[in-house]
Structure 1
Amino acid sequence: MSISTFNRRWAEVLIEALTRHGLRHMCIAPGSRSAPLTLAAAANGKLTCHTHFDERGLGHLALGLAKAARQPVGIIVTSGTAVANLYPAIIEARLTGERLVVLTADRPPELIDCGANQAIAQVGIFADHADALNLPRPTDAIPARWLISAVDNLLASARFGAVQINCPFAEPLYGEDDGAYQSWRDAPGAWWQQTTPWLRYSQQAITMRQPDWFSWRQKRGVVVAGRMSAEEGAQVAEWASTLGWPLLGDVLSQTGQPLACSDLWLNHPQARQTLAQAELVVQFGGGLTGKRLLQWQNSSRPENWWLVDSAPGRRDPAAHGGRRIIAAPGEWLRQHPAQPRAAWAGHLVLLSITAQQQVDAATQTFGEARLAHRLPELLPENGQLFVGNSLIVRLVDAFAQLPVGYPVYSNRGASGIDGLLSSAAGVQRAQPRPMLVLLGDISTLYDLNALALLRDAPAPLVVLVVNNNGGQIFSLLPTPEAERQRFFCMPQSVSFAPAAAMFGLQYACPENWSALQTYLQQCWRRGGSHLVELVVDAESGAQTLVALVKQMEEA
């Protein structure tokens, strides 16, 4: 009987078991050792298969798919360094909760630690960043129900972040399917006609109502909104407004940031004096962006600080006393209704208006700061935004007021610049809506070959690259001026026009605001994939932020 045929049967059962947990997307990199897994995934009609030649980008493609689909997403890679290239995406998933199921093909045990080609120690390679299941070499001495139960147990016990299933396969890996081992495959019987897991765990995660909520909601409260879904952001904004509590919304909160430009006005003495009166702070989600918001979070000492987030573990770097509530924000809000009350912190509204006026006056010149401030004017209707890391996300957080409930995605767990284009591609494949991707030049260069994933976008797509010639985030930091450009900013002096041409994307480089608006309006109407490059002054964006923070402190 053929080893290659049994490898296929083993992989078929494994892949089918994964689909019973909601897995509908499989991201596949080329490889020989992973052939049984790839062929089984391709033959499973429940799966949509995505491919990419770069495993690092593949991991981030899966990450983006999982963000938008809110379902587990699978990854298949071959053995060796292909596995290690998934590390950044797995780290991000552990921090932000996307469920990735990583199938790492491996050499059988006798080919490990003996000098065999493309064989590395893969068991536990992701350490604490992923729960792991190390499968044995496929053999018909192990019943199919054991394999199915092992998968069910892993996915039931690890409900946050990534898991690794290490799959050793012996050669031969290819060959005609001779029909052997069908009885082994079919042994689970009616399971093949069902849609549920073989082994179902009873996990009752009930959000408990805080028994003293009715007294706490009478007090002076502040709402801090971090990373949430669009639906949750809109719900939190309405809840805070009903209570009359000021809401400090992060760029990823999707709350509409009713007190816009908080990163500018939070250091104003009047703001700190007003916020010091808060008796309760309720924070939804983590991953806060603004420096001034993080500083206030660290220094604030209300009677109680409640942090509501579906992610387990510690999520408050300031280590406040209070309550850590593991619950989805929307579910928690339903258990804790708001009581209509008059707003108690009206001074903050005036500070926000003043800050917005100062931003408007300071961003009349075409450039990075104006783009961040007027970003809402460029967003496609019924679309979505993916915003990169480093300087650009800080400028948007400080200068813009994004629409309430407008979907915003980013990789703000580890906040790296690796894989951002790949993640954006995954988001749009899961949610095929018009999308604007806003990145810096270094971030785009870092993931340049992911432009291959954007050629056949399922909806109008614009990658807007802010080319300020280097990592200008370091202009905000006290880096030594003599070494700043060479060792920190690292300007590359490149044009992205050849990259767009190489990957078949339409290209434009508008030189003023009117041209930028007009071109993007055409993009949303005509469809297709576009790379739009804005060549801006290197340091003006960072300098504008520094100047406005200082100006607002003294206002």
Structure 2
Amino acid sequence: MTKNAMPAASSTEFNRRWARVVLETLTRHGVRHICIAPGSRSTPLTLAAAGHPRLVRHTHFDERGLGHLALGLAKSTGQPVAVIVTSGTAAANLYPALIEASLTGERLIMLTADRPPELIDCGANQAIRQPGLFAGFAGRSVNLPRPTPDIPAGWLASTLDQALSARETVHVNCPFAEPLYGPEENDEDPWSSALGEWWRDDRPWLSVPLPAQDQTLTEDDWEGWRRRKGVIIAGRIPAEEGGRLAAWAAELGWPLIGDVLSQTGQPLPFADLWLADPAAGECLQQAELVIQFGGSLTGKRLLQWQAQCRPREYWLVDPLPGRLDPAHHRGRRFHTPVGAWLDCHPSPAPSSRDNKNWAAPLEALSRRAHRHIRAAMTEALGEIQLAHRLAELLPAGGRLFIGNSLAVRLVDALGQLPACYPVFGNRGASGIDGLLSTAAGVLRGGDGPLLAVVGDLSALYDLNALALFRHTTAPAAILVVNNNGGQIFSLLPTPEAVREHYYVMPQQVEFRHAAALFGLNYASPPDFSTLQSCLADAWRQPAGSAATLIELAVPPHEGADRFRSLVAGMAAV
């Protein structure tokens, strides 16, 4: 036996000791939830997580869904969430969730088990080149060596501390050599013991101060700007800041155009309709300053106006990195939380408002859009009625998750959600993959009930995520709007001759059988009052029971056609 070689049983145990330091280090950086997929190569990490007293463990058999489950947990808790998967394509399946997190600021820590170096590029089973797997979408990447007592435990802890200190998404690649299984050994462990008191406190081994952030200071010329004509755009911002921003805008007397994820209460609702009226553009072109809070705008006409508007200056406030302004306006970029920025930029006293309600015509346009929506609704329960009346279906003290494609666009354009009511969505990359899994994570990360609204193709894409709703931590309802395909493409200028076959792709499915497959409650209400009753029953379900899947079967093109008609009606002045 060579000097540093270990017998097989010791190698097994040392893999576990190495993994225990990895998991303990994560907890020193705020990790409380960890999501685990089954796998052999990841056994040391899985056993370390299973035995850790401060970790809440979540499991799922699908790694793509597992990544999105972690994403939802991170959205809901605001904490970093770790994921454990085995080697090979299991690791690759985390990519979509990591991409989304990199664009929306959630902190995911991907622990990918790997084969040791001698098994890579030689035909070994389930072995791929995993270092650098996530390219530029992982904020930090750490490729750990094969566990060996020749490397001090302090190196392992401090290496992870360095990576985790940046508060970004992190990929930690963890090669483990066999054997992976064997009995626990209780002999003295000088390698782990070298960390001493670290095991008994809650601080990182190596504290790495955050780099200097943009300091939030009052702009020297704010006193002058706040007396001018301004417009506020609210994108994706935290719920607690949405209501405060709306009050600040009202004090200024500036119009606030709020996205569905702004949680501002959308003081000028139905913007995607009234912005189609030429009178809206004529009014808004008077704006001298536009301030956007948060990114990820949804409405097509808001995006069009944002792209073509040319105020004297355009300011953007969001703590995330990057410009977040695809129109590249001239102005100022503030990397700071919304609340901190508002603290430093007070609104004027009522007596000093020089331009109070300068954009009052927009209020009339919003009321006109409301009348158009009400006139377009029929007695039948359809997508227009659902989007417009969604606020009536929200559970008290709960949360809302909205899917992508047509669902989020209709709610953004036709609905008005309450201020400060938590609304979640995957609007970074805006994909339909993993939406149900993300909603399951949002549910598990909080205390209140959850309503999730998704389309039929989105639900099919992530169908096995229904397994995550068999036993819920709080009452939950999944509302699947079944318009038989991707009807968002009915709004786009796709060639009519090939639209159904190549874009919409109708599947002719009924979700009753999916609910039965996963043991969920099921309902298919014919009208709005019955829908309300079904949801009332869902909110009465105790924690630990199955979620309710509610299928809203609607005529395939009705929602898109009626929405297109509403936009045309507003534009025809």
The one of 13, 23, 37 equivalent to 1:15 is 23
Q: Is the 8 A contact 1:5 1:179 kept in 2?
A: no
| Partner of residue 567, structure 2 | 549
Structure 2 partner of 1:44: 52
| TM superposition shift of 1:208 | 2.7
* SS of 1:526 mapped into structure 2: coil
Question: Hey, what's the Cα distance between the residues in 2 that align with 1:431 and 1:125?
Answer: 31
Aligned residue number for residue 101 of structure 2 = 93
Counterpart of 2:145 (choices 136, 143, 146) is: 136
Matched AA of 1:124: G
* Residue aligning to 1:4: 12
Structure 1 distance, partners of 2:465, 2:88, is 22
Answer yes or no: is the 8 Å Cα contact 1:66–1:100 preserved in 2: yes
The yes-or-no answer on 1:481 pairing with 2:499 is no
1:338 and 2:353 correspond: no
Q: Does 1:192 align with 2:199?
A: yes
1:288 corresponds to which residue? 297
Partner of 2:156: 147
Match among 101, 115, 118 for residue 107 of structure 1: 115
Supply the distance in 1 between the matched residues of 2:206 and 2:386 (Cα, whole angstroms): 52
**Where does residue 515 of structure 1 map in the other structure?**
530
SS where residue 348 of structure 1 aligns? Answer: helix
Offset of residue 115 of structure 1: 0.4
1:538 to 538, 556, 563: 556
Q: Describe how 1:333-372 pairs up with structure 2 within 5 A.
A: 333-339=342-348, 340=350, 341=353, 342-365=356-379, 366-372=381-387
Kept in 1: contact 2:25–2:157 (CA 8 A):
yes
Q: Counterpart of 1:168? A: 175
CA-CA distance at 1:235 after TM superposition = 1.3
Deviations 1:57-87 (A, max 9, x none): 0000000000011010000000000000111
Alignment counterpart, residue 265 of structure 2, candidates 256, 272, 281: 256
Shift of 1:207: 2.0
State the match for 1:57 in structure 2: 65
2 CA distance for matches of 1:222 and 1:278?
6
Give the residue type in structure 2 aligned to 1:178. Answer: E
In structure 2, distance between residues paired with 1:377 and 1:364: 17
Structure 2-normalised TM-score?
Answer: 0.95
SS of corresponding position for 2:378: coil
The answer to whether structure 1 residue 377 and structure 2 residue 377 are counterparts is no
How many aligned residue pairs are there?
A: 553
- 1:364 Cα offset (Å): 2.6
User: How many Å apart are 1:525 and its aligned residue?
Assistant: 2.4
> 1:423 & 1:438 partners in 2: Cα distance?
12
Equivalent of 1:465 in 480, 485, 494 = 480
How do 1:423-462 and structure 2 match up within 5 A? 423-462=438-477
CA RMSD of aligned residues (A): 1.0
* Letter matched to residue 550 of structure 1: A
Alpha-carbon offset, residue 155 of structure 1: 1.1
User: 2:426 & 2:329 partners in 1: Cα distance?
Assistant: 25
d(CA) in 1 for partners of 2:525, 2:331: 51
In the alignment, which residue of structure 1 is the partner of 2:189?
Answer: 182
Separation in structure 2 between the aligned mates of residue 434 and residue 178 of structure 1, nearest angstrom: 44
**Whole-Å separation in 1 of the counterparts to 2:231 and 2:85:** 46
Unpaired segments ≥5 residues, structure 1: none
Check the 8 A contact 1:242/1:338 in 2, yes or no: yes
Q: Which residue of 1 aligns with 2:427?
A: 412
**Kindly, what percent of the aligned residue pairs are identical?**
61
Where 1:465 maps in the other structure, the secondary structure is strand
Q: 1:181 to 1:227 in 2, by over 3 A?
A: farther
For 2:100 and 2:424, the matched residues in 1 are separated by 13
Q: TM-score, normalised by structure 1?
A: 0.98
Runs of 4+ in structure 1 off by over 3 angstroms are none
Q: What is the SS of the residue equivalent to 1:281?
A: strand
**Alpha-carbon offset, residue 484 of structure 1:** 0.9
What is the distance in 2 between the residues matched to 1:399 and 1:240? 22
Counterpart in the other structure of 1:215:
224
Offset, 1:180: 4.3
Equivalents in 2 of 1:18, 1:177: separation in Å? 23
1:175-200: CA deviation from partner (whole Å, max 9, x where unpaired): 11112462211211111111111111
Query: Does the alignment pair 1:73 with 2:81?
Result: yes
- Determine the C-alpha separation between the residues in 2 that align with 1:296 and 1:402: 22
Please, which of 249, 267, 286 is the counterpart of residue 277 of structure 1? 286
Partners of 1:511 and 1:503 lie apart in 2 by 23
